Chains A and B, each alone.
Chain A
Amino acid sequence: MKKNKGDEVFVNEIKAGNKMAFEAMVLKYQPKLMSSLIGYTKSRDQAEELCQKTFIRVWQKIDSFRGDSALFTWIYRIGINLAKNDFASSFSKSSKITDSLDQNEHDVPQYLSPETELIAMESENKIMEFIQTLDTDTKTAFTLREIDGRTYDEISQILRCPIGTVRSRIFRARQLILEYMNQENILNG
């Protein structure tokens, strides 16, 4: 996945102390991080704990993020390192993790809730099938954004249409997918 302007905007706002930007970043990447950590740990509970620790670490260390890699790559690396640390400490019986909530000295936003719902595999397949039914214009713009990681500007050049059209097509795709998810009762608590 390419770096994109989205990361830059969030990072700048977070570095400037905008806690809502941090929350938005958590909301954006939490599902992806949880999927990755569950894949790594094979344990939902462990993944949730690691996910929380990861975002605490991200909040603490965001100033050291230079943008050499995509933001999620950096977050993911932190998460995996914490998981390795966790794994090693479970063997040595002497936990060296210093990221527990009581120990950190930073002002961590209080709304962190790693209990992210995950989408069941069956529902994932339904969503993917639904995406295939989207009209070509909508699907193409959405795919170029989500899978190719293209910016709106790049997509507008590829599809030879105004950026505003790209923006509305991508939104349209998301809106239709959300409507479908509601209809199928996916992630409705």
Chain B
Amino acid sequence: MDKDLEKLSALYDGELSSSDTQESLAQMNANESLKETFQKFGHISDVVQRHSKQKNLKVSFLRDYLSKINPVMSNLVTAAATVMITIIILYQVDNDRFEVDRNTSLQLSSALSSDQAKNQLLNADQNIMEHIINIMQSNQSNNSQQVSKNWIPVGFSVNPNNPNQYSNGRNNLFFHLENKQLGIKKVKYFKANNNWIYIIPLQDGRLLTAYGDVPPSVADPMIQLIYQRN
């Protein structure tokens, strides 16, 4: 019976040969239960496809995809399940003008469709993703350098329990500063669930990572200020 149903599933996907298709259709014609199952496949497709449009489900499966091509990445992402990164588009921002350069966008779909894009995703962004995950996992204040108070956006004040956490009462912003090179020359930022992550390479060679529920409209002036004062 399972073999019949597996064939029905392949028929649904149009993956049977012409002769198998005809055979399977004839089988379905004689069996109401198979018709019912076939229609339920249609319901499942409808639900999954509508939800994927609404919630960008495609990218939420990034972890699964990565597990196929890079177990290390998969482990890291799995370990960081609480900060499951739903990267939709990778933005790159010019230091001086902060224009969004969408040409550098990387999407899972493009990575799936070409080896070049796949390698690009792995080689160019693996370090960045690992960096983000490590910081968000480690509760980061332990190994972060102290950030300059001059960099903090107006209205934000420090959390007495965490010198690298700032809040304006509504939004929280965490900083992580270290001597690190990720090979990036421009600010990159990501949307991860309800948070934004900004990776800011400083002119003195250090790397500042800022994250929190602070959108680019608030973060951009802060980043400009950091570049002016660093």
Contacts and interface: CB of A to CB of B under 8 A. Distances in A.
Contacts of A8: 14
Given A13-B25, A148-B109, A139 B61 contact: yes
B122 to A, nearest CB: 14
A90 interface: no
Contacts of A159: 68
A158 B44 contact: no
A187 B38 CA distance: 13
A20 interface: yes
Nearest to B37: A178
Interface in A110-151: 116, 119, 124, 127-128, 131, 136, 139-140, 143-148, 150-151
The list of the 7 closest CB pairs from A to B, nearest first, reads A6-B14, A171-B9, A27-B39, A171-B6, A140-B64, A31-B46, A32-B46
Given A139-B64, A140-B68, A152-B13, A31 B39 contact: yes
A60 interface: no
Given A9-B14, A127-B47, 6 more contacts: A7-B14, A20-B28, A21-B21, A127-B44, A151-B15, A158-B68
A15 interface: no
A146 B15 contact: no
A167 B44 contact: no
Contacts of A80: none
Contact of A20 (B9, B29, B39, B47): B29
Interface in B15-61: 15-16, 18, 21-22, 25-26, 28-29, 35, 37-52, 57-58, 61
A116 to B, nearest CB: 8
A73 interface: no
Interface in A92-119: 116, 119
Given A9-B18, A20-B29, A35-B50, A143 B13 contact: no
B58 A147 contact: yes
B22 A18 contact: yes
B10 A171 contact: yes
A85 interface: no
A82 interface: no
A9 to B, nearest CB: 5
B142 to A, nearest CB: 32
Nearest to B15: A152
Interface string A167-183: 11011001101100100
A1 interface: yes
Contacts of B45: 28, 31-32, 146
Interface residues of A: mostly helix, strand, loop or mixed? helix
Contacts of B112: 144, 148, 150, 158
A134 B13 CA distance: 20
B121 interface: no
A147 B48 contact: yes
A167 B9 contact: yes
Contacts of A9: 14, 16, 18, 21
B11 interface: yes
B9 A13 contact: no
B151 interface: no
A5 B42 contact: no
Contacts of A61: none
Contacts of B49: 1, 32, 146-147
Which among A127, A144, A170, A174 has the greatest number of chain B C-beta atoms within 10 A? A174
